[in-house]
Amino acid sequence: MIYKKLVEKTLEFNQLNDYDLILETILSETRKFLNADAGTIYVKKGNKLKFHYFQNDTVLSNEDEGKIHRFSSLKLPINDESIAGYSAKNKKVLNIPDVYELDKNLPFKFNKAYDLSNNYRTKSVLTIPITDSNNSLLGVMQIINKLDPDCKTEKVIIPFSEEDEKIILKYFAVQAGIALERAMLTREIVLRMVKMAEMRDPKETGAHVKRVSYYSAIIYENWARKKGIPEKDILKNIDILKTAAILHDVGKVAIPDTILKKPGKLTEDEFNIIKLHTIFGARLFENATQPVDIAAKEIALSHHEKWDGTGYPGFVNDINECNVENICSKPKKGEEIPLFGRVVAIADVFDALVSKRVYKPAWSIEESVKIINNGSGSHFDPLMVEAFNATINKIKSVLEYFKE
């Protein structure tokens, strides 16, 4: 029975496209199968391991804003001095019953800093290197503090077994490598498209689109949970949204440089031409059949719509015939605006407000949040604004992590 569930989960991993979501899902599902209290993912960046995502049921509740610890600047050298570094360097699984009782002859040590600052006790740790099809290192996963399933009233920590190692190596670690390798290829293709837009529009930076992608996923997840949408559907939609949102302004590649790079205020005619980037972006995905492409078309076309119907481009009968004269022939308002468009609208505006532009300085987070709230019911979907407010600490973490 357990192996049937493992096969089902590995199939789910391979249906995901987003690199970060794959990492989070693999970590959480591995912990569930091994009944572990906590876990950490490191990704390889150059010759170091970057602390990428952290889960801990004792320290962090499901709604704890600290869960955004995945956005951290902590890095470890890939060498023999730390447990994760040793596992990465030697591509070796380490199964340690108690990290406080390490043999003094071992080259690596356990860093107690996290335990001391969070009043936590790390004990059993299973550390697994994640590699691609060429056996190149992608990262390291650590599963922390296996809990005794027979103890229902308290958390009793026990060592990980040899069977646990086999489960991890045969299913999760191998499938993680396959899924991550595929996701990295997808991400590179998408970011190349963004790079093309960035060459044309100095505002369309890689950091900007990544922030918009993460903001959008965070806002949507909060909204969806409040709506009672099934977790499986939420996961699928986040996976689609995170990739599609990156491409929200890709249509700007078709806008003349004289307008895109103009430092001053645009004339009415110039702004009408700018509006066409929504149409041009949708045209790139005109014959879309895959969910991500369909969502990218929807977002490109609708992320400048407004809740009260004063946005653009409105209802478009034929994206190939749309031009400056008929771009806003019939407005969209309220829930006529596609869901993902309503999410990205907030994410895009917020990031524009807190970012420096040639025509304005960066506004403070407080000022920017106030503007978003003032736009509730006019510019933005009120329920999406509620979700934005509920997740503002996570959004701040993204802003800090993906600096220009």
Catalytic residue among 252, 275, 297, 306: 252
Q: pLDDT-based confidence at 62, cuts 50/70/90?
A: very low
Asked whether residue 381 is domain-assigned, the answer is: yes
386 and 352 both lie in a single domain: yes
Which CATH number do you get for residue 386? 1.10.3210.10
Residues 6+ apart with CB under 8 A from 185: none
The mean pLDDT value for 6-11 works out to 59
| Tally of domains within the chain | 2
Among 139, 155, 182, where does a domain finish?
A: 182
Among 136, 154, 182, where does a domain finish?
A: 182
* Residue 334, domain extent: 201-401
174 and 318 both lie in a single domain: no
Residue 240's pLDDT is: 93
The mean pLDDT value for 380-403 works out to 92
275 and 392 both lie in a single domain: yes
15 and 96 both lie in a single domain: yes
132 and 247 both lie in a single domain: no
Side-chain-facing half-sphere of 358: CA atoms under 13 Å = 11
Which CATH number do you get for residue 160? 3.30.450.40
Active-site residue, 252 included: yes
Q: Is the pLDDT of residue 289 over 90?
A: no
Residue 67's pLDDT is: 43
Asked whether residue 191 is domain-assigned, the answer is: no
Residues 6+ apart with CB under 8 A from 324: 269, 272, 273, 275, 276
Residue 9's pLDDT is: 60
151 and 266 both lie in a single domain: no
140 and 73 both lie in a single domain: yes
Residue-wise pLDDT for 100-125, tens only, equals: 999 999 999 999 988 898 889 999 99
| Beta strand 48-56 pairing with 157-158 | unpaired
318 and 248 both lie in a single domain: yes
Instruction: Work out the widest C-alpha separation in the chain, in whole angstroms.
Output: 77
Summary mean pLDDT of the chain: 85
pTM: 0.78
Residue-wise pLDDT for 140-185, tens only, equals: 999 999 999 888 888 999 999 998 888 777 666 666 777 777 777 7
Residue-wise pLDDT for 302-317, tens only, equals: 999 999 999 999 988 7
